[in-house]
């Protein structure tokens, strides 16, 4: 079996785990959008930049309601998640010009969920050749922009595509 090493995830693994749900807290915070990197608020879900991205522009679509299990999502939440995924693929294409996307959920800790108690959908832009030697040999993941830069680019693209 081939092993895949992701040393850039160590910051997340080692970070102190809060006593509260970070997604519920972010979803409830209507005053500090920039600080939380929330890029869009829908009726049932919000869209936020991942603080520990796999790639530049990695967003998550999260229901406001604290929900751990996929099968408990109501039809409106699930529908809005998919509609927002479709919308933000266009936004991310405008902002970053990726060659493709990974879209998915990690359901449960054993499936790779970093925050397993609040379901969320990942939308990860991908580029040809974006898997290079740096993560393997240097223990470093290269992102061409920081979170603030990605946030600004997404907000500009959201305005341009709306």
pLDDT in tens, 73-124: 999 999 999 999 999 999 999 999 999 999 999 999 898 888 999 999 999 9
Which of 153, 123, 2, 149 shows the shortest CA–CA distance to 53? 123
**pLDDT for 69 beyond 60:** yes
Span 16-32, average pLDDT: 78
Span 150-158, average pLDDT: 93
Between these two residues, 52 and 57, which has the higher pLDDT value? 57
Which of 159, 88, 77 shows the shortest CA–CA distance to 122? 88
pTM: 0.80
Q: Which residues belong to the active site?
A: 120
CB-CB contact of 8 with 135 (8 Å) = yes
DSSP code for 54: S
**pLDDT for 1 beyond 70:** no
Q: What is the enclosing helix (H) or strand (E) of 80?
A: helix 75-96
Domains and CATH numbers, the chain: 7-161 (3.30.428.10)
């Amino acid at each position: 079996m081939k092993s895949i090493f992701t040393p850039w995830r160590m910051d997340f693994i080692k970070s102190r785990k809060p006593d509260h749900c970070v997604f519920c807290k972010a979803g409830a915070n209507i005053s500090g959008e920039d600080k939380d990197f929330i890029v869009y608020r829908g009726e049932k879900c919000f869209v936020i930049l991942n603080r520990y991205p796999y790639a530049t522009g990695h967003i998550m679509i999260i229901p406001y309601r604290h929900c751990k299990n996929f099968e408990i999502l109501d039809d409106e939440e699930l529908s809005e998640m998919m509609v927002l995924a479709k919308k933000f693929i266009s936004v991310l294409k405008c902002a970053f010009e990726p060659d493709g996307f990974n879209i998915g959920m990690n359901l449960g800790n054993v499936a790779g969920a970093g925050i397993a108690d609040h379901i969320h959908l990942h939308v990860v832009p991908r580029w040809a050749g974006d898997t290079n030697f740096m993560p393997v040999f240097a223990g470093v993941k290269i992102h061409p922009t920081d979170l603030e830069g990605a946030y600004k680019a997404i907000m500009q693209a959201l305005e341009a595509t709306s």
